[in-house]
Amino acid sequence: MSEVIGIDRGPPYVCVPGVKGAQPAVIPNLEGNNTTPSVVSFLPGGQRLVGLPAWRQAITNPEDTVYSVKRLIGKKFNSPEMEKLREKLPYKIIEAPNGDILIEAGKNIYTPQEISAFILGYLKECAENYLGTKVEEAVITVPAYFNDHQRQATKDAATICGLKVLRIINEPTAASLAYGFNTRKNGKVAVYDLGGGTFDITVLEIHDGVFHVLSTSGDTFLGGDDFDNRLIGYLLDEFYKEQGIDLSQDKYALQRIKEAAERAKKELSFTPEVEINLPFICSSDRGSLHIQKKINRSFLENLTRDLVEKTINICAQALKDAGLDVSRVDEVILVGGQTRMPLVRQAVADYFGRQPAGRINPDEIVAIGAALQAEIIKGWAKELVLLLDVTPFSLGIETEKGIFQKIIEKNTTIPARKTMAFTTVENNQRRVKIHVLQGESLIAAENKSLATFDLVGIDPAPAGVPQIDVTFEIDADGILRVSARDAGTGREQKVEIKPAAGLLPEQLEEIIKKRRKKDIEATDDEEGLL
């Protein structure tokens, strides 16, 4: 019998709680640590490293060490976010034929889904080693503000490494589940989730085992990496002013600065001042040059204060969407390593008017919630728990003159089903194109395209006479199905929404076949050495 696990896939670390016995247990990785850096490194000899061994390669092997893949998954190469990120990453990102992102590392080309699959596969191996049995099923968390493409890409990554996804659950919702399960408290809760790559705020109500999400909001390009980048930018600017040398073009020097900045940021959460000392950072006609700077906590806070303020503004929007005043929030839960920063904790306390709850490790609470959700799905939980989540974006279709007509509004509780009537715009129109979109703009072109299909065979009639009923149906896993029906003829066309980007089913199957072949070859090589 195989086991089921819950996985928090957020950078910079991954926790894997196993469902074993009455309570979820955080499973240590093969090095004995509870968390695993979300890093994959490819060595010159073809060996692949995952986790801490890979992170240790970041300075000496920067071009073949891949991190922050969560920011890449489900994204387009030419998106504004990626244009900025490409300048900061030491490894090479190239454009796929369909406009998606590909990663060049270790003399090979990988999709972000494959890199994620390497990490998930390692976690699967750790769980199997700890539990002593096969692991084939998982509940996996994603940022609440992940869109349809990003969620599907996460699911594809799990499929590649041999995991069946029982459910994709939003990270803040998972955190609230862990919190509520442990405290048994009723009330309205705000989950402030500031991790390495993303920020989410979710407002929900807990009442007698029912976890009802009221609203969610966030930014998938706002996280601890951005705090690091502020300090990195300062060090680069100061070195250029003092030495006239731009280290941003030196990948080895840049990686050393990145690691030092991240370490300094973490230390400043517990000490008022740190020294960044990087000897022999580069050479010039003046000899070897070094970086030596003292950074205090207030300086870092001034560098990053606007990032924290941005998260508070998003919190305000989430409360507005939930129809709540801040005074009606009974508890605030902090999630993610960046919430250890004193400035963040103080800003959250000031805004909500109360100190955040601190009973559960912010790095592990999401993973524990994922494991609890796995228990609930499998029927192992002794207590009845009902989780009612919401869709993070509005869903609808493009209408005449490029207008976006919302059919399912943002923050609608899922599962959900809604039908809206439309008509033709031309006389004797026999065909209607249904363009399905996701987003909040009234202008269709400013939203994300999900799918396009045609309803054909409409009886000839003057414009405005036929009635076309368009139905949107979204299940608890966030899978959207759309149908269009001509009320006059009864003709109907249905489609299950698949990403307009990402891996096609045949591409996914090809990746899985190649992976299985490599696994067989690796096993044969090992047997040959015995």
Q: pLDDT tens, 290-314? A: 999 999 999 999 999 999 999 999 9
Do residues 229 and 88 touch, judged by C-beta distance below 8 A?
yes
Do 345 and 278 share a structural domain?
no
Q: What average pLDDT score do residues 269-274 get?
A: 96
Q: Are residues 88 and 185 in the same domain?
A: yes
Q: Which of 277, 284, 205 is nearest to 247 (CA)?
A: 284
Q: Are both 22 and 167 inside the same structural domain?
A: yes
- Where helices occur in 297-355 by DSSP H, the ranges are 297-322, 342-352
User: Of residues 3, 8, 363, 486, which has the active-site annotation?
Assistant: 8
**CA distance linking residue 179 with residue 275, whole number of Å:** 37
* 525 labelled catalytic: no
- Largest CA-CA distance found in the chain, in angstroms, rounded: 84
Same domain, 204 and 248: no
User: Among residues 269, 302, 335, which one ends one of the domains?
Assistant: 302
Same-domain pairing of 479 and 331 = no
Catalytic residue among 64, 137, 156, 193: 193
CA dist 215 and 428 (Å) reads 43
Residue 497, pLDDT above cutoff 90: no
Report yes or no on 45 lying in a domain: yes
Q: Please report whether residue 515 resides in a domain.
A: no
Query: 119 and 17, same structural domain?
Result: yes
Residue with structure tokens 């059919």? 407
511 located within any domain: no
With bands split at pLDDT 50, 70 and 90, how would you rate the model's confidence at 519? low
* Catalytic site residue from 3, 114, 171, 363: 171
Q: In what order do the strands lie in the sheet with 448-456?
A: 403-408, 395-399, 431-438, 448-456
Residue 182 scores a pLDDT above 80: no
Q: Judge whether 445 lies within some domain.
A: yes
Of 8-17, 22-31, 275-284, 472-481, minimum mean pLDDT range: 8-17
Q: What's the CATH number where 435 sits?
A: 2.60.34.10
Instruction: Examine the domain organization and report whether 50 and 79 are in the same domain.
Output: yes
Q: Which amino acid is at 233?
A: G
Q: What residues make up the domain containing 437? A: 395-496
Q: 427 and 370 in one domain?
A: no
The pLDDT tens digits for 201-248 are 999 998 888 889 999 999 988 999 999 999 999 999 999 999 999 998
Q: What's the helix, strand, coil split of the chain in %, to 5? A: 35, 30, 30
- Identify whether residues 342 and 437 lie together within a single domain: no
CA pair distance 293, 271, nearest whole angstrom: 16
Q: Is residue 502 part of a domain?
A: no
Contacts 24+ apart (CB under 8 A), 518-524: none
Checking if the pLDDT of 523 tops 60, the result is no
**70 an active-site residue?**
yes
304, 265 in Cβ contact below 8 A?
A: no
Q: What is the pLDDT of residue 364?
A: 82
Listed as own residue / partner, the contacts of 43-49 with beta carbons closer than 8 Å and 24 or more positions apart are 43/106, 46/106, 48/106, 48/118
- The answer to whether residue 518 is domain-embedded is no
Marked catalytic residue, from 3, 70, 205, 406: 70
Question: For the residues 40-60, what does the mean pLDDT come to?
Answer: 89
Q: 255, 284, 302: which is the final residue of a domain? A: 302
Amino acid 152: pLDDT: 84
More reliable by pLDDT, 363 or 472: 472
* 233 CB-contact burial (10 Å; exposed 0-12 / middle 13-18 / buried 19+): middle
Find all residues with CB under 8 Å of 169, minimum gap 6, and list them.
Answer: 139, 140, 141, 142, 369, 370, 373, 387, 389
Taking each helix axis from N to C end, the angle separating 224-243 and 297-322, rounded to the nearest 10 degrees, works out to 150
Where residue 286 sits, what CATH number does that domain have?
3.90.640.10
Q: Tell me whether strands 92-95 and 187-194 are parallel, antiparallel or unpaired.
A: unpaired
pLDDT tens for residues 276-287? 999 999 998 888
Picking from 74-78, 241-245, 266-270, 350-354, which range would have the lowest pLDDT averaged per residue? 74-78
In DSSP terms, 435 is beta-bridged to: 452
Of the candidates 302, 322, 353, which is a domain's last residue?
A: 302
| Separation between Cα atoms, residue 258 and residue 59, nearest integer Å | 9
Same domain, 271 and 323: no
pLDDT on residue 517 = 67
Assigned token pair, 276: 């960044």
pLDDT of 156 strictly over 50: yes
Q: Phi first, then psi: what are they for 334, rounded to 5°? A: -100, 135
Task: Indicate the average pLDDT of the chain.
Answer: 86
Q: What is the mean pLDDT of residues 151-175?
A: 89
DSSP output for 239-257: HHHHH---GGG-HHHHHHH
Q: What tens digit of pLDDT does each residue of 361-382 get? A: 888 888 888 888 888 887 766 6
- Do 57 and 188 belong together in one domain? yes
**Among this protein's residues, is 265 annotated catalytic?**
no
Together in a domain, 476 and 334: no
Number of domains in the chain: 3
Q: Is 237 a catalytic residue?
A: no
Q: Which long-range contacts (CB under 8 A, 24 or more apart) does 451-455 make?
A: 451/482, 451/495, 451/497, 451/498, 451/500, 453/482, 453/484, 453/493, 453/495, 454/493, 455/431, 455/484, 455/485, 455/486, 455/491, 455/492, 455/493
Those residues with Cβ within 8 angstroms of residue 187's Cβ, 6 or more apart along the chain or in another chain = 205, 206, 330, 331
| CATH value at residue 13 | 3.30.420.40
Classify residue 180: in a domain, yes or no: yes
The answer as to whether 487 is a domain residue is yes
Coil, strand or helix: which one is 411? coil
